Amino acid sequence: MKETPLPTIAGILNIISGIITLFIFLALIFATVFIALGPGDVSLWGYYYYYDGPAWGIALSILIIFDVIAFALGTITIIGGIFAIMRKRWALALIGSILALFPILFVGIASITLVALSKAEFNGNPTQ
């Protein structure tokens, strides 16, 4: 079968989406560290707030969960993009494309479509 650029484009879209997700992960890490430094007096642009109570623990727990999810999504999306570019492991490339939906919807939709259309180009595909 003739190779088309569809898996390569899908892989690049996955990698871009994964990098964006990892930037979101970094922002969540900064927010988690900011919350973990409390309770106490926190200066934010010259304003002082006193944070205390169970809301801090809940917010910190939620942010840690989001940190783990964002890191996993970004990593799997990038791995799926790499496999799409290599034209190996179609299922993993498709999973990476599905996870690319989360940071940017239209990038994920385009990536899913391109990987699905190019299924026959992947090595080890039983439908070849």
Q: What is the mean pLDDT of each run of 10 residues along the chain (128 residues)?
A: 86 93 90 70 53 69 88 94 92 92 88 91 65
- The verdict on residue 127 lying in a domain is no
- The verdict on residue 50 lying in a domain is yes
What's the pLDDT score for residue 28? Answer: 87
**pTM (2 decimals)?**
0.80
Give the whole-angstrom CA distance, residue 13 versus residue 80: 10
Residue 125: partners with Cβ closer than 8 Å, 6 or more residues away: 90, 119
- The verdict on residue 44 lying in a domain is yes
What's the pLDDT score for residue 50? Answer: 53
- The verdict on residue 125 lying in a domain is no
Per the structure, the count of domains in the chain is: 1
What's the pLDDT score for residue 128? Answer: 46
What's the pLDDT score for residue 8? Answer: 92
- The verdict on residue 15 lying in a domain is yes
3 state SS for 76-102: HHHHHHHHHHHCECHHHHHHHHHHCCC
- The verdict on residue 31 lying in a domain is yes
- The verdict on residue 61 lying in a domain is yes
In which domain, by residue range, is 34 found? 6-118
54-86 vs 90-99: helix axis angle to the nearest 10? 140
- The verdict on residue 39 lying in a domain is yes
What's the pLDDT score for residue 30? Answer: 85
